[in-house]
Amino acid sequence: MSQSLWAILLSSIPALAFSAAQCAFPMMMCAFLFDTGIFKKDFDIDEHVASFPSDWTLRRLTFQQAARDTMFMGENLSTKRIYMSCDKGNKKGVGHFIKIISWWDPLQRDENDIVRVRTQLLDVDASGGTSQECALAIQASVNKLKQNDEANTHKLAGQCTDSGGGGVLDGLANEMTALGLTRLHNYLIANCTIHALQLQLRNAIVAALGAGSLEKVNAMQLLHTVYGLQESLDMSEWRHTLTKSSQCVIEYGTAAAEAVALPDGASKRQLTLASNKAEFQTDFSMMHSWHTGFKKDALDVDAKITGTMLAKMQKPILTRWWTVGVSAACIFDCYLQMFYAAQIVINVYGSDSSPCKIATALFSMMKDPENFIDVTLIRCFNKACTHPHLDWLQSCDNLSGKLGFSAHHISVHCYLMKNDLKNVLSLSTMQEHNTAVENCGVLEEGERHHHLTKLNVFMKEANESLDKHFGRWIGKDLLPAGVLGEHPIGKTIAAATLRRDLPRFDTNAGVVDDLRMSGHLHIKSTVHKRKVDLKALCTFIPDRQAKDSDCTQDAKIAAELIADDDVDLRTFNCEGDNGPIRLNLHSTCLPLASQTQFVESHVKDAKLVAQTNRSEQLRACMAIVCSASPLGREKDGESSYNSFKVKALIKSA
């Protein structure tokens, strides 16, 4: 018990070096007990300092605890269907390959007596970048769970990875199959839906607007330049500049281009300054007319800065979710203030300084109406399509009880995303882009047609990317998971899986039958938080399946139960005639990850445990111990977050 507590303690504070810990703990204990008077009696200080573990002992305890956690997990999973989610990340010069095992066990319940998908880190050992190298790394990691390397146990039933690079999807699966790591039948291959959704935005931007780079002048480079200007200044200076800019925007408004009266006999310098100011005000007035959606509210420097233009802007990276859309929204809202801030930086800094060079480039790009229209397009599409679905993918834990495990809902959400993309141009959100084109797209002959052409290319690429990266979720392997959706939706997917017509829902009060009037048969989904047209869904799925594809026999049996007998497959009751079928369906579908954001968090953990230049072996062991320890921010009754965390860590030993 005490050895486990030492290992858990050190893994919970990875920034504390073991060499520092061997000195800190004796002193902390002495400081804690000094006021008790224990040191006034016959106390041997030499014996006190020698009773605490040395740095090597702490290191050994960590190794042993990681070994115990791994062996316990191996014994626990020897007869279970297990899945793997993995991702790569280079931290402190080591190419960590994060491998997380997930499984379903209806007998394991949390402190609230709820059954959840269970996950645990296998290791963060380094790996090469090819699929073959990643498969060999997984083999070495999985062997840690076995009693011996040749044991025919711990076969993987499926995987979830990103969509790009080496060691992903079918390439990785083929290499693992060759090494005998996978089950022979019904091995499920899933891609990260968050990454796929971001690829939709990324591909559309690159195809229609162009990627950002130093030699480019486009919307993405404008976003990068705003971020670069922020980083070139001290944060307090940047916020002060934005505050002054906000005040000037409120002060000038549409009267910014009024003539500046000069006294008779003004000097050449005064004339130059007046000319430059008039030119700036003319440009400002032109931008002011581009859109009515600009924010012009006064900034409260004493209020919370989250959600305001004073909040620090994240680096806009096309493959990183949220960042590009949030940056485009921020720059659109504060376009006038950003333009004014660029001019302030130009006035304050010398022409050879980095802030001045960046501000000059930003000033020039912001005056180009084409860049503004493109930023508006990114912002509107992100708000209408990307943002709502990304938020749902990150927040859904229905039935599985675990964020990131919604494979049984993805097929339906594919339909919703496709439907939203089909109707996105008619939404009020996209009308803001139309307003920008109307106001700015007629400045030159033929320019309006040019922007409409870019919009067509943007939407075409977004549509093709959606089909490409979400297509496998409607295929014969992953579609059967959809029968675990809400009952009417699950029944519809069961019928589609069996290639039957739309089932009847006469006894289901939640289904609104409007087929005779509008042709719709819809349900208000509590999971997807919107209406789902069951008739359109039943048509959508068969249209995207290969005619010769066929699901497994187990999937057919489960689909027939819900389609013919209305059996509830979502309950966790595994007794009775249908219990084994229900358990098999749960253990097959629920532990398959639908996104890998939880894997990304362990990439950050790999960086944390590497803070004091630890060896790769020690990094992996600390990450394993940390993964098996409850480190979440929770609260129990009247106790504080800290006391609850300490109690949870002690109990985990």
Q: Flag whether pLDDT at 547 surpasses 80.
A: no
Q: Are 454 and 371 in contact (CB under 8 A)?
A: no
Instruction: Kindly state whether residue 375 falls inside one of the protein's structural domains.
Output: no
Task: Please give the Cα distance from 25 to 28 (Å, whole number).
Answer: 5
Band (305; pLDDT cuts 50, 70, 90): confident
Query: What confidence score (pLDDT) does residue 349 get?
Result: 95
Both 584 and 606 in one domain: the answer is no
Domain end marker among 367, 394, 409? 367
Mean per-residue pLDDT over the chain, rounded = 88
Distance CA 232, CA 313 (A): 13
Q: Which residue has the higher pLDDT, 508 or 426?
A: 426
Q: Report the DSSP pairing between strands 118-123 and 94-103.
A: antiparallel
Tell whether the model's pLDDT for residue 345 goes beyond 80. Answer: yes
Q: Residue 109 to residues 114, 118, 334, 572: CA-CA distances in angstroms?
A: 5, 10, 49, 11
Q: Note whether 557 and 641 are same-domain residues.
A: no
- CA R_g for the chain: 30
Residue with tokens 């408004």: 253
Q: What total number of domains does the chain contain?
A: 4
Could you tell me if residue 228 is inside a domain? yes
- 260 lies in which domain range? 218-367
Tokens representing residue 479 in the block: 């579609």
Assigned domain for 398 exists: no
Q: How far apart are CA 291 and CA 294, in angstroms?
A: 7
Is residue 259 pLDDT above 70, yes or no?
no
Last residue of a domain, one of 367, 386, 404: 367
How does pLDDT run across 176-208, given as a tens digit for each residue?
999 999 998 999 999 999 999 999 999 999 999
H, E, C per residue of 518-535: CCEEEEEECCCCEEEEHH
Residue 514: predicted pLDDT: 86
pLDDT at 404 over 80: yes
pLDDT interval class at 112 (50, 70, 90): confident
Whether 331 has a pLDDT exceeding 70, the answer reads yes
Whole-model pTM? 0.89
615: exposed, middle or buried (C-beta count within 10 Å: 0-12, 13-18, 19+)? Answer: exposed
- Rounded to the nearest angstrom, the gap between the alpha carbon of residue 519 and the centroid of all alpha carbons in its chain is 37
Residues 48 and 81 in one domain: no
Are 77 and 52 in a shared domain? no
In a domain, 336, yes or no: yes
pLDDT value for 267: 78
One domain, residues 358 and 314: yes
Same domain, 172 and 237: no
Q: Sorting pLDDT into bands at 50, 70 and 90, what band is 50? A: confident
- Name the pLDDT band for 254 (thresholds 50, 70, 90): very low
Helices (H) and strands (E) in the chain, counts: 25, 8
Residue 635 has pLDDT above 60, yes or no: no
**Residue 115 DSSP code:** B
Given 321, 347, 367, the domain boundary residue is: 367
What is the crossing angle of helices 369-381 and 193-208, to 10°?
160
Question: Sorting pLDDT into bands at 50, 70 and 90, what band is 441?
Answer: low
pLDDT at 641 exceeding the cut of 80: no
- Identify whether residues 249 and 179 lie together within a single domain: no
Work out the pLDDT band at 256, boundaries 50, 70, 90: very low
pLDDT at 446: 61
Do residues 23 and 95 share a domain?
A: no
DSSP state at residue 383: I
Residue 389 identity: H
- What pLDDT is attached to residue 1? 73
In a domain, 265, yes or no: yes
Section 362-374 average pLDDT: 94
Position 222 scores a pLDDT of 96
Same structural domain for residues 585 and 622?
A: no
Q: Which pLDDT score, from 0 to 100, does residue 639 have?
A: 62
On whether both 622 and 513 belong to a single domain, the answer is no
584-615: pLDDT as tens digits: 999 999 999 999 999 988 888 888 888 877 88
Q: What is the pLDDT confidence band of residue 62, given thresholds at 50, 70 and 90?
A: very high
For residue 145, being part of any structural domain is answered with yes
Average pLDDT for 458-464: 96
Query: In terms of domains, do 100 and 121 share one?
Result: yes
pLDDT band at 255, cuts 50/70/90? Answer: very low
Q: List, for residues 85-105, the tens digit of each pLDDT value.
A: 999 887 667 788 999 999 999
pLDDT of residue 371: 94
Cα separation of 429 and 348, whole Å?
38
User: 82 in a domain, yes or no?
Assistant: yes
CATH number at residue 161: 3.30.420
In a domain, 207, yes or no: no
Least confident of 302-316, 401-415, 439-453: 439-453
Nearest to 12 by CA among 609, 634, 458, 485: 609
User: Integer distance in angstroms from the first to the last C-alpha of the chain?
Assistant: 6
Over 70: is that where the pLDDT of 257 sits?
no
317 vs 640 pLDDT, higher one: 317
Rounded average pLDDT over 389-397: 95
Question: Are the C-beta atoms of residues 123 and 113 closer than 8 Å to each other?
Answer: no
| Same domain assignment for residues 26 and 160 | no
pLDDT for 632: 56
